[in-house]
Structure 1
Amino acid sequence: MRGDASAAHDSFPRLVADIGGTNARFGWLADAASTVQHVRRLPVLAHAGPAPAVNAYLGELELLLGTAYRPPRRAAFAVASSVAGDQVDLTNSHWSFSRAGVEAELDLDMLLVLNDFEALALSLPRLGASQLRSHDQRPLPAPGGTLAVIGPGTGLGVGGVVQTRHGWVALSGEGGHATLSAADDFESELLARVRREYPHVSAERLLSGIGLPVLHAAATATTGATAAALTAEEIVERAATGSDPDCARTLDLFCALLGSFAGNVALTLGARGGVYIGGGIVPRLGERFFASRFRERFEAKGRFRSYLEGIPTVLIVDTEAALTGAALAIEQSAD
């Protein structure tokens, strides 16, 4: 029987992927001393499924590495979908695949498939200072205990990770679909207006790429004005240029509501190790986010203000962080 060191050596190279509805990012770990390297982004629409996309990536990598190239032995895919059983159907994508089928097609010893926010949560213990920015110039926390992550992107993802004696365990769920609450009369009126169209107003309904236009229309109407129909990208751009006060107000409200929601997640998970903010929207807000009411509303929990005051809030600025979490998932499965 091979020793542990030999078995670990034979599990390399390793392939990691972060697969969304639009793009799939692939990365490579050559050995146990390596971090994720040779990251490449491929459009999902250009490939029939994950196996053809992987083969395209590996073909490029073999040309790059030459005689140093060896086929991957283990892989982990972080996917923008719920994962239960062998069959995986991606949200907002034509990709649908069998985990066992792709494992066999790629001749892998092991293929893990996990939700993308499980992978992002697993990345948190491994992220460094260059990948993060803390709120209010607070020192970056040393990872420990329970950490939470929220991610306003196309939707609103929520996850967590808990430190145990057996390693880090990811907590997956659908927290973005929890009911959004109001903190003042204006927000109560706004949510009542949105409920005329959507019986259940979840956090994702307003705090996401699909939700920003809804938030913009409702917030503008609540002030008595009429809103132009704008996309999320247009709202962010107009606010950034200062050309549209309604868009600026929308983003200020977005940050405040996100702060309240993040505080709820911290309380629910007991995430005293920190709440991390990922996704594609918040990094695009720049200094507006750090000057917003996010942190004020995060802490505004009455008798539990002091509990929240001690919890750091940290922005993830690395768009490839989920690959690090996928690598940790393989590492812990290989132990």
Structure 2
Amino acid sequence: MKVALVGDIGGTNARFALWRDNALHAVQVFPTADYTSPEQAIGVYLAAQGLAKGEVAAVCLAVAGPVSGDEFRFTNSHWRLSRKAFCANLQVEHLLLINDFTAMALGMTRLQPDEVRNVCAGTPDTTRPAVVIGPGTGLGVGTLLGLGEQRWLALPGEGGHVDLPVGSAREAAIRQAIALDTGHVSAETVLSGGGLLRLYHAICALDGHAPTLGTPAQITDAALHDDPVALEVIEQFCRFLGRVAGNNVLTLGGRGGVFIVGGVIPRFAELFLRSGFAASFADKGCMSAYLEGVPVWLVTAEYSGLEGAGVALQQALAQHA
């Protein structure tokens, strides 16, 4: 019997799993640097599962970047993919390529109660869009809309590249300090792993501190050990994230709630939950009341991208059944 395969491919790692009976099976992670192409990595994965080429009928891959045409070039990776060549090589009947944040958004429909933490209390309006936002290597932003009958629509976008919003003179000074190095300051310029370091250098420059920390991990570790400068960096990071998330809710009418995903925030989850995120999220002047009651959740699930790829594949195959 033929099976389906799902993948979530980033710049550093590719995650693959079999999708069977509406669930993930046999998840494995492959460093992209160790393989010349996704076909090679998937071939190794299938062999490990005792499957030969031709035994996988359908594949859905979540990939970083806009998806169109036959060829896709992976962001931050040497991998390339031709749809036609991929299907021929692996003898696959159906290949679905989707944006990685489309998959992440769809993955929110599969969350279990122990995979989320409440950030802002509220009741989601299931008839309205939900916002999915994730600081990681970059800043991903997506939209999830329920269509009824257990069907969902995920809208990808490039919301991580909107201008960074500021709400105080201090934030304006920080933004200007960063602009001296980067020029245009997008939300992603600050709200990402590399952005954490930019924020640290800006605060050091404004306050006359000699920078001693050289990586995002060092900043996080220092904050967790009560370093005052690192703590301010984390606090300001959380406040900027609150402003960006609140802007998205206003833009989309996103009263379905906000899901915070990605690899950055879980590293300092307790600091985040005690931060000024919620205050900045709702700091919208005459529209502040609109943000009241919009729930915000911190997602801790490990394989939301893979789960979302499974949902996307299931919906696509159902449409062609």
Normalization by structure 2: what TM-score? 0.93
In the alignment, structure 1 residue 253 sits paired with structure 2 residue 236: yes
Q: Is the 8 A contact 1:72 1:108 kept in 2?
A: yes
Deviations 1:194-236 (A, max 9, x none): 1222221001111101111111000121123232351111111
In the alignment, structure 1 residue 227 sits paired with structure 2 residue 211: yes
Deviations 1:169-208 (A, max 9, x none): 1111111110002111111111111122222100111110
Per-residue deviation, 1:124: 1.4
| Equivalent residue number for residue 23 of structure 1 | 13
Superposition pairs of residues 266-305 of structure 1, within 5 angstroms: 266-305=249-288
| Equivalent residue number for residue 40 of structure 1 | 28
Per-residue deviation, 1:142: 7.9
1:226 alignment partner AA: A
Q: Is the 8 A contact 2:129 2:145 kept in 1?
A: yes
Equivalent position to 1:333, from 304, 316, 319: 316
| Equivalent residue number for residue 184 of structure 2 | 200
1:261 alignment partner AA: V
Whole-angstrom distance in 2 between the partners of 1:22 and 1:125: 26
| Equivalent residue number for residue 175 of structure 1 | 159
Superposition pairs of residues 87-236 of structure 1, within 5 angstroms: 87-136=71-120, 138=121, 141=124, 144-164=127-147, 167-236=151-220
Whole-angstrom distance in 2 between the partners of 1:97 and 1:29: 21
Higher relative contact order (CA 8 A, sep 6+): 2
Equivalent position to 1:58, from 46, 56, 80: 46
Unaligned residue ranges in structure 1 (runs of 5+): 1-9
Partner-residue secondary structure (3-state), 1:94: coil
1:36 alignment partner AA: L
Deviations 1:15-63 (A, max 9, x none): 11000011001111223xx411211111111111111111111111118
Unaligned residue ranges in structure 2 (runs of 5+): none
| Equivalent residue number for residue 3 of structure 2 | 13
Deviations 1:78-129 (A, max 9, x none): 0122212111111110001112221221111111111111100111122121
How many residue pairs align between the two structures? 317
In the alignment, structure 1 residue 84 sits paired with structure 2 residue 68: yes
Whole-angstrom distance in 1 between the partners of 2:164 and 2:64: 22
| Equivalent residue number for residue 7 of structure 1 | none
Whole-angstrom distance in 2 between the partners of 1:219 and 1:87: 42
Q: Is the 8 A contact 1:13 1:70 kept in 2?
A: no
Describe the shift of the 1:140–1:47 C-alpha distance in structure 2 as closer, same or farther (beyond 3 A): farther
Normalization by structure 1: what TM-score? 0.90
Partner-residue secondary structure (3-state), 2:175: helix
Whole-angstrom distance in 1 between the partners of 2:276 and 2:63: 32
In the alignment, structure 1 residue 319 sits paired with structure 2 residue 307: no
Shifted more, 54-63 versus 311-320: the winner is: 54-63
2:255 alignment partner AA: R
| Amino-acid identity (%) | 39
Q: Is the 8 A contact 1:125 1:143 kept in 2?
A: no
Partner-residue secondary structure (3-state), 2:302: coil
Whole-angstrom distance in 1 between the partners of 2:54 and 2:85: 21
2:183 alignment partner AA: P
Whole-angstrom distance in 1 between the partners of 2:231 and 2:83: 44
